[in-house]
Amino acid sequence: MARPKRADKDKYGETKQRYQIMLTETASNELDKVSEALGITRSELIEKAIRQGLLKQVKLDPSEMGDD
């Protein structure tokens, strides 16, 4: 299923702003696969993950905690 080029404007009652993030190629490819399977944009996938509280489920191993 082809995903739309952009998410619906003002879907959340807010105007979207442009931000830049850096990802590994592996993470970027996974983002592409999941967004393509769901038929949504990468931006919309990230928006949904954040709004559904999925980021709060991320756990870090103590060895991963540092000053990045």
3-state secondary structure 11-67: CCCCCCCCCCCCCCHHHHHHHHHHHHHHCCCHHHHHHHHHHCCHHHHCCCCHHHCCC
Q: How many CB atoms lie within 10 A of CB 57?
A: 8
Inside any domain, residue 68: no
> Higher model confidence: residue 17 or residue 1?
17
- pLDDT on residue 38: 97
Inside any domain, residue 8: no
Per-residue pLDDT at 11 exceeds 60: yes
Per the structure, how many domains does the chain have?
A: 1
pLDDT-derived band at 22 (thresholds 50, 70, 90) equals very high
Inside any domain, residue 33: yes
DSSP annotation of 68 reads -
Inside any domain, residue 35: yes
pTM score of the predicted model: 0.71
Closest alpha carbon to 5 in 50, 40, 47: 40
Inside any domain, residue 44: yes
Residue-number span of the structural domain to which 36 is assigned = 25-56
Inside any domain, residue 45: yes
- pLDDT on residue 68: 56
Inside any domain, residue 14: no
- pLDDT on residue 3: 63
Inside any domain, residue 2: no
